[in-house]
């Protein structure tokens, strides 16, 4: 039996809504909104979900939306999409590029929202085929690692119940039509730090009267490069990135202070603790070496936990998805060094909830193949957070809607034919 012959009846309605979903995606892409400011997006999500027959609650965790559909007795399946944009100026040249200068859907959250709405519509129209409860979660502020926590702290479980499984997906620079899911630690933990290093300002012509925080910061940046290369085992994984260094206002003025923003990625508590301790030691040590009269300040900007996929949930969900789209289009990508806060919905309840979170491709398969053959994939295929990141609408949209719909049906109770 072919994959097409095993297609659930719920998917038969996809052709009828595909053009509408594509139009919605283009509209969302053109109107991105930053974290906790997703008011237009939330309103459109609520309007559509309500029209599908869901009970909709807005303002959850500030701007989040929750859509619930009760359909007899059975499991509760949580389907999640995030919907905030990024402070990036779009450079794709698309006719539906962002109308807001300096704000862009550079991570694909517009595609996530569109796919989830499509899945909610198909599942609502196929209620005769399943029983249970669907909780559609449209989450704000994923990019600042605050949205999932905000929704949980807003009484999520008391208001909407503890799910039996949490499912979600993220578009990325894989070939469109492909799906990747890794059991176990699948997305890295992240710690973002702000470091202020204090010196003593002076005229640029009299450096001897200063304690130069620019040199102090530069030495710190270089020394931080040794954390992973010299303190972390080759069998472990960690990433330390200094993404921002700011100091001074003029070429002939030595400033009083410098600020660094540091991003750390890890997969285990042991490695995370070791890297954080090394960063603190190096920052403080460079300040002492420079003769700083004030100890540096190190503050947390945000933090994501490790996303830990339940192995059984991955096997069950991906088996169902592969049976429909083709087993050759589902693979294990290994751990991803990106981070995600969807795990809060699975780990914050009073009982363990299995999580299955997967990647789905949004890049042109021919372009990916050509870049891989030439050894230029990293250069030629825009990744998430790039000003050039723009998933193909198709087959990306069809794959994402199909995966969420089939994934949900793999967990919902079945109903015998009437």
Tens-place pLDDT, residues 121-147 = 999 999 999 999 999 999 999 999 999
pLDDT value for 415: 64
Is the same domain home to 183 and 203?
Answer: no
Per residue in 159-212, pLDDT (tens digit) is: 999 999 999 999 999 999 999 999 999 999 999 999 999 999 999 999 999 999
Question: Last residue of a domain, which of 284, 303, 322?
Answer: 303
- The Cα 249–Cα 378 span in angstroms is 35
- Per-residue confidence (pLDDT) for residue 241, from 0 to 100: 97
Statement: residue 6 has pLDDT above 80: no
The DSSP call for residue 6 is: G
Whether residue 379 is predicted with pLDDT greater than 50 in this model: the reply is yes
- Known binding residues are 107, 109, 143, 170
- Residues 47-88 pLDDT 10s: 999 999 999 999 999 999 999 999 999 999 999 999 999 999
The answer to whether residue 4 scores a pLDDT higher than 70 is: no
| Contact (CB, 8 A) for 389 and 98 | no
Say if residue 416's pLDDT is above 90. Answer: no
| Distance separating alpha carbons of residues 150 and 146, to the nearest angstrom | 6
Same domain, 207 and 184: no
For residues 267 and 297, the answer to whether their CB atoms sit within 8 Å is: no
Give me the helices (H) in 326-395, please.
344-347, 365-374, 377-380
Crossing angle for the helix pair 396-409 and 109-125, nearest 10 degrees?
A: 50
CATH number at residue 299: 3.30.70.360
Last residue of a domain, one of 258, 277, 303: 303
Same domain, 179 and 194: no
Residue finishing a domain among 303, 331, 349? 303
Residues 260 and 295 in one domain: yes
Quick one: 154 and 172 in the same domain?
yes
- Residues 40, 174 within the same domain: yes
**Domain boundaries, position 284:** 189-303
Based on the fold, state whether residues 292 and 365 are members of the same structural domain. Answer: no
Which residues are part of a known binding site for Mn(2+)? 107, 109, 143, 170
């Amino acid at each position: 039996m072919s994959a097409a012959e095993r297609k659930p009846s719920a998917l038969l309605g996809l052709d009828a809504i595909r053009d509408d979903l594509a139009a919605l995606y283009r509209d969302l892409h053109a109107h991105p909104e930053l974290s906790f400011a997703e008011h237009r997006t939330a309103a459109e999500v609520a309007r559509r979900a309500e029209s599908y027959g869901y009970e909709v609650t807005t303002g959850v965790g500030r701007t989040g939306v929750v859509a619930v559909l009760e359909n007899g007795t059975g499991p509760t399946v949580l389907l999640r999409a995030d919907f905030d944009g990024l402070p990036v100026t779009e450079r794709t040249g698309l006719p539906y590029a962002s109308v807001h200068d300096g704000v862009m859907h550079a991570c694909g959250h517009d595609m996530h929202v569109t796919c989830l709405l499509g899945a909610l519509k198909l599942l609502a129209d196929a209620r005769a085929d399943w029983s249970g409860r669907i909780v559609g979660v449209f989450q704000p502020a994923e990019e600042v690692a605050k949205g999932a926590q905000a929704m949980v702290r807003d009484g999520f479980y008391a208001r909407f119940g503890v799910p039996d499984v949490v499912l979600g997906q993220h578009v990325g620079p894989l070939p469109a039509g492909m799906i990747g899911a890794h059991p176990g630690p699948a997305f890295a933990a992240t710690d973002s730090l702000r470091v202020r290093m204090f010196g003593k300002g002076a005229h640029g012509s009299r450096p001897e009267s200063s304690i130069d925080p620019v040199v102090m910061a530069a030495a710190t940046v270089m020394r931080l490069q040794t954390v992973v290369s010299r303190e972390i085992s080759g069998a472990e994984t960690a990433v330390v990135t200094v993404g921002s260094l700011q100091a001074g206002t003029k070429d002939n003025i030595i400033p009083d202070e410098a600020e660094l923003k540091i991003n750390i990625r890890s997969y285990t508590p042991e490695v995370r603790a070791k890297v954080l301790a090394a960063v603190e030691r190096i920052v403080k040590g460079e300040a002492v070496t420079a003769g700083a009269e004030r100890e540096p300040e190190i503050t947390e900007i945000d933090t994501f936990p490790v996303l830990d996929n339940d192995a059984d949930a991955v096997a069950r969900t991906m088996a169902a998805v592969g049976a429909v789209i083709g087993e050759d289009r589902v693979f294990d990508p290994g751990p991803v060094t990106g981070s995600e806060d969807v795990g809060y919905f699975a780990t914050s309840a009073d009982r363990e909830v299995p999580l299955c979170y997967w990647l789905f491709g949004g890049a042109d398969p021919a372009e990916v193949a050509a870049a891989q053959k030439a050894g230029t994939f990293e250069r030629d295929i825009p990744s998430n957070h790039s000003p050039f990141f723009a998933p193909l609408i198709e087959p990306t949209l069809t794959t994402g809607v199909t995966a969420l719909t089939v994934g949900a049906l793999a967990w919902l109770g079945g109903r015998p034919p009437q």
